[in-house]
Chain A
């Protein structure tokens, strides 16, 4: 469970990232975050694992305060939260296996991990995760030899070996083609349904958000302006979020939004 209590974030250049955000995300939800660029979607996601510090309020994950956590505790919280992003963020020159195994780093001491000593169980965990995303045959390939969609699936596998309860996805499909996009979203949905993990996705496409999520949260200038099921998201709400009703406009207008 993730709770936000009166969370605000003001960047050092004065830009307001979040303004008094209060919400609770339960276990096993599939949440899509929508809104214009700069509305605070990324800031919201990144304050869950404290890649962004917040300026006010408190964020708790499974009852533990992320905001007040010390170095060691933060590490422990972070290893239970997976994150994938638009740029896949793989170490391109390392093998797929090493990239996936790096999801276990939070569980190892510095020395052991630097020497590359991973337990047999973790190697098996990595194999299982890669099998799940259908890339087991690429185990020893260099990550930059893979296509964009494959790289994104490697980064999903990385969150799987973390055995995280929560997966944060920051624009996971923004640099992928429509067919790969569907596949990646289905992978996330499947992980959400069969493994019961909470999935929170930042997404530009309202259609994808409606198609896959159980709950949609709309941001505008750092404030939550919509929070509800996909069915409740109609023309009026979209106008509130985007300043106009994009679903009724021509195809292609979505990309601009």
Chain B
């Protein structure tokens, strides 16, 4: 009984200690932040912003020039789709290299594969976008490449985790009937992994749509560029219509992808 009570007290003490440490970290951080930006803030300006935001510029919605909201949103979705498609295809060979259950006899290969994936994932998408804008010139294609390369790392990691967690029973059964490595891959592994891989790719397509709408900030195409121009020019009615467009597009794609994902199960 005494022991249980002591354990109880001990736990309480630990909870309090954790709470105090957390509070201290937050307070110290809050104290360290530079609040000088506040000086530039004025209520009248904020009011002007909100007034503009409530009056979306519907003229920008569609004018057939290719520089309107609908065309740019389509372009953004296109960037995301192509980027994710490239990443899906290229992540597969990386998965084969970095799954430790495929390299029982030489585990170091899988370690190398995982390291490459970690490095690919480490760079923020924005940095890839900046690099690719230099390489292929400003435009949507740079955005495609940025999303593609970044998502190889993301998808490769998730694919590898699924591959390593999969049920090895059917694989063993295939080995027992005399199937080779690739027969095993296509008869035992692929059918089991296909739905979850598709689901992961769809999920990353959703993420890619969000990214693609920001990559325009660095000249990698899509809706981001006109948005940043509108913000800089303080054309709030234009900002408003673009934000509405992005929100609706992302919302629609999330919903659609959600429906497809449910079907995959």
- Report the Cα distance A47→B188, complex, angstroms: 22
Task: Pick out which of these stretches binds chain B: A17-25, A30-38, A72-80, A233-241.
Answer: A72-80
Q: Which residues of A contact B (CB under 8 A)?
A: 49, 51, 74-79, 81-83, 85, 87-94, 98, 102-106, 108, 110, 113-114, 155, 158, 162, 168
Q: Which residues of A contact B186 (CB under 8 A)?
A: 113-114
Q: Which residues of B contact A103 (CB under 8 A)?
A: 177
Q: Which residues of B contact A98 (CB under 8 A)?
A: 187, 191
CB-based contact A114/B183 at 8 Å: yes
Q: Which residues of A contact B175 (CB under 8 A)?
A: 51, 78
Which of A92, A102, A104, A158 has the largest count of B CB atoms less than 10 A from its CB? A102
Q: Which residues of B contact A (CB under 8 A)?
A: 169-170, 172-180, 182-183, 186-188, 191-192, 194-195
CB-based contact B177/A89 at 8 Å: no
The answer, among A82, A89, A108, A113, for a CB contact under 8 Å with B172, is A89
Indicate whether A110 sits within 8 Å of B192 (C-beta atoms), given known contacts A51-B175, A102-B174, A105-B174: no
Q: Which residues of B contact A162 (CB under 8 A)?
A: 177
Indicate whether A93 sits within 8 Å of B191 (C-beta atoms), given known contacts A87-B169, A113-B183, A114-B186: yes
Q: How far is the CB of A34 from chain B (nearest CB, A)?
A: 22
Indicate whether A78 sits within 8 Å of B192 (C-beta atoms), given known contacts A91-B170, A114-B183: no
Which of B169, B172, B173, B174 has the largest count of A CB atoms less than 10 A from its CB? B173
Q: Which residues of A contact B179 (CB under 8 A)?
A: 102, 105-106, 113
- Report the Cα distance A98→B183, complex, angstroms: 13
Q: Which residues of B contact A168 (CB under 8 A)?
A: 176
Q: Which residues of B contact A90 (CB under 8 A)?
A: 170, 173
Which of B175, B177, B188 has the largest count of A CB atoms less than 10 A from its CB? B177
Q: How far is the CB of A214 from chain B (nearest CB, A)?
A: 24
Q: Which residues of B contact A51 (CB under 8 A)?
A: 172, 175-176
- Report the Cα distance A93→B177, complex, angstroms: 19
Helix, strand, loop or mixed for chain B's interface? helix
- Report the Cα distance A94→B171, complex, angstroms: 13
Q: How far is the CB of A99 from chain B (nearest CB, A)?
A: 8
Indicate whether A110 sits within 8 Å of B170 (C-beta atoms), given known contacts A49-B176, A93-B191: no
CB-based contact A106/B191 at 8 Å: no
The answer, among B174, B178, B182, for a CB contact under 8 Å with A110, is B182
Indicate whether A85 sits within 8 Å of B173 (C-beta atoms), given known contacts A79-B178, A91-B191, A93-B191: yes
- Report the Cα distance A78→B175, complex, angstroms: 8
Q: How far is the CB of A50 from chain B (nearest CB, A)?
A: 9
Which of B169, B183, B195 has the largest count of A CB atoms less than 10 A from its CB? B183
Q: Which residues of A contact B174 (CB under 8 A)?
A: 102, 105
Q: Would you list the 8 A-B pairs with minimal beta carbon distance, nearest first?
A: A106-B178, A79-B178, A78-B178, A89-B173, A89-B169, A105-B179, A83-B176, A75-B178
Nearest B-chain residue to A88, judged by Cβ:
B169
Nearest B-chain residue to A103, judged by Cβ:
B177
**Other contacts beyond A90-B173, A110-B183: 17, CB < 8 A:** A49-B176, A51-B175, A51-B176, A77-B178, A81-B176, A83-B177, A87-B169, A92-B192, A93-B195, A102-B179, A102-B187, A102-B188, A105-B177, A106-B178, A110-B180, A113-B183, A113-B186
Which of A91, A113, A168 has the largest count of B CB atoms less than 10 A from its CB? A91
Nearest B-chain residue to A76, judged by Cβ:
B178
CB-based contact A105/B172 at 8 Å: no
